[in-house]
Amino acid sequence: MSSNIGSVKVEISVVLGSSTIPMHQLLRMGRGAVIELNSKQDDPVLILANNKPVAKGEIVIHGDKIGVSVAEILKGY
C-alpha cells in the first residue's frame, strides 16, 4: 500500500493577536480603521493547521514578502 501524504493539502493560518470590541463599534468602522490587538510587535504568533494550533512562530520580512519562521512545535504534534 503506498501513501500519498505528500499530496494532502493543509490550510495554514497565522494569528497575530486578538481583540474584543462592541458590535456597534465594529459596525461604525470604515476603510482604514485600525483594530488594536492584544499583542506586541515582537510577540510570537500562533500557527494553525486546519484551524488547530500546531506551532508558535516569528514574523519574518524579506523585501516585500512576509513569512513566518517556526520557533516551537506545540505538544501533540
Q: Is position 50 within any domain?
A: yes
Three-class SS state of 19: coil
Q: Which CATH number belongs to the domain containing residue 45 in this structure?
A: 2.30.330.10
Phi–psi pair at 7, nearest 5 degrees: -100, 0
Tens digit of each residue's pLDDT (9 = 90 or more) over 14-42:
999 999 999 999 999 999 999 999 998 88
Q: With bands split at pLDDT 50, 70 and 90, how would you rate the model's confidence at 77?
A: low
Looking at the structure of the chain, the number of domains it has is: 1
Exposed/middle/buried for residue 44 (C-beta within 10 Å: 0-12, 13-18, 19+): middle
Domain ranges, residue 54: 9-73
Q: Is position 3 within any domain?
A: no
pTM of the model: 0.76
Q: Is position 1 within any domain?
A: no
The pLDDT > 70 percentage for the chain reads: 95
